Amino acid sequence: MKKSIVKLEQLSHRYSKDWAIKDISFEINKTGIVGLLGSNGAGKSTTMNILCGVLSQTEGRVVIEGFDTREHPAEAKKRIGFLPQNAPLYLEVTVDEYLTYCANLRHIPANKIKAAVDEVKEKCGVAHFSKRLLGNLSGGYRQRVGIAQAIIHHPLLVVLDEPTNGLDPNQILEVRHLIKEIAEERSVIFSSHILAEIQATCHDIIMIEGGKIVFSDTMDSFNNYIEPNSLVVTFGNPPEKEKLASLPGINNVEYITDKTIRMHFNITPDITENIVETSVAQGWKLREINLEKSALDTIFAQLSNKKPNHTA
């Protein structure tokens, strides 16, 4: 029987009297990127810190490729690469010095360290900065070096906590591409509170809110979790807003352009048929009608019982 890459069983942890996470269970047994989604304070960092051996859980088990992190911590940690939200960089050393230090920490044999350093520098696109101080690198390249230290020992599991946080749009695209390349050979857990990052990068998703898993499935299933509740309709001869708003089941109407309109509705089986028939009868000249998927922030809001934050 094939071993899971990582398995969490009833993982719980509390600080003082308050539970940060409670009964977190999931299993990963294939390569690719799994998104760990949740608002700030949801319990993501606690889960990752326990998973990577930084924190000892109050209850439950973590098993990495068959090794329990409490019973065999050294063997379990050998199989994990971790990039915390604040990359553990020493800004006064060069890229080569830092990665050589990390290779030693990972017990890579002395005669293989140079090859290991050269490999991850090339993989992460920082080879041309070998002799540059980390403190003189841009945020994007520092993050690349942080990812390099996480994969230098060829772990099958890599855990990345907010890896694109604080980067500019071009740097974000570059880091996303790098993470996807890394995930071709190993499992990556990509943690973020930013919906767009999870959507753009991950195939599977685990959502934690209030210290508990509230969703675990594919990204497609997550996108479709809430029934569509709006139509985008284009008319050649659009009616007044009030006429559309008076149609059965229509809650709200907003004009996108002078001829294209978004109509929010209650779920009814004949809503589109009713609009088509009314358009023909009234001479509105219906050109196009499309059912909209619920936006990710709407899904996130429903699952976490919070209103979407559009200020981020």
Q: Are residues 138 and 250 part of one domain?
A: no
Phi then psi for residue 278, to 5 deg, are -65, -40
pLDDT of residue 228: 67
Tell me what the mean pLDDT of segment 85-104 comes to.
95
Tens of pLDDT, residue by residue over 134-149, are 999 999 999 999 999 9
Q: Are residues 55 and 30 part of one domain?
A: yes
Q: How many domains does the chain have?
A: 2
Q: Which positions ≥6 away from 208 have C-beta within 8 Å?
A: 21, 24, 36, 37, 38, 42, 43, 44, 47, 214
- Residue numbers of the domain that contains 277: 230-293
Query: Greater confidence, 270 or 298?
Result: 270
3-state SS class at 281: helix
The answer to whether residue 217 is domain-embedded is: yes
Query: Greater confidence, 20 or 219?
Result: 20
Question: How far, in Å, CA of 111 to CA of 37, rounded?
Answer: 40
Residues 214, 217, 222, 226, CA torsion sign: negative
Phi then psi for residue 270, to 5 deg, are -115, 25
Q: Are residues 152 and 30 part of one domain?
A: yes
Q: Which positions ≥6 away from 184 have C-beta within 8 Å?
A: 31
pLDDT of residue 304: 63
Of 181, 208, 223, which marks where a domain is finished? Answer: 223
**C-alpha 232, offset from chain centre:** 29
Tens of pLDDT, residue by residue over 161-218, are 999 988 888 888 899 999 999 999 999 999 998 888 888 899 999 999 889 999 999 9
What amino acid is encoded at 60 in this protein? G
Beta bridge partners of 144: none
Strands (E), the chain: 6-15, 18-28, 32-37, 59-64, 67-68, 80-83, 157-161, 187-192, 204-209, 212-218, 230-235, 250-255, 260-265, 286-292
Report the side by side order of strands in the sheet with 32-37: 80-83, 157-161, 187-192, 32-37, 204-209, 212-218
Does the pTM surpass 0.85? The reply is no
The answer to whether residue 252 is domain-embedded is: yes
Of 171, 200, 223, which marks where a domain is finished? Answer: 223
| CATH of residue 253 | 3.30.70
Q: Which positions ≥6 away from 160 have C-beta within 8 Å?
A: 83, 147, 150, 179, 188, 189, 190, 191
Q: Are residues 219 and 253 part of one domain?
A: no
Q: Are residues 273 and 182 part of one domain?
A: no
**C-alpha 155, offset from chain centre:** 20
pLDDT of residue 17: 86
pLDDT at 130 over 70: yes
Tell me what the mean pLDDT of segment 268-289 comes to.
86
| CATH of residue 208 | 3.40.50.300
Q: Are residues 271 and 132 part of one domain?
A: no
Q: Are residues 197 and 135 part of one domain?
A: yes
For the chain, give the mean pLDDT: 89
Q: Are residues 256 and 126 part of one domain?
A: no
Q: Are residues 91 and 154 part of one domain?
A: yes
Tell me what the mean pLDDT of segment 128-134 comes to.
97
Kindly state the percentage of the chain with pLDDT values over 90. Answer: 63
The answer to whether residue 1 is domain-embedded is: no
Tens of pLDDT, residue by residue over 51-80, are 999 999 999 999 999 999 999 999 999 999
The answer to whether residue 301 is domain-embedded is: no
The answer to whether residue 14 is domain-embedded is: yes
Q: Are residues 149 and 277 part of one domain?
A: no
Question: How far, in Å, CA of 25 to CA of 12, rounded?
Answer: 9
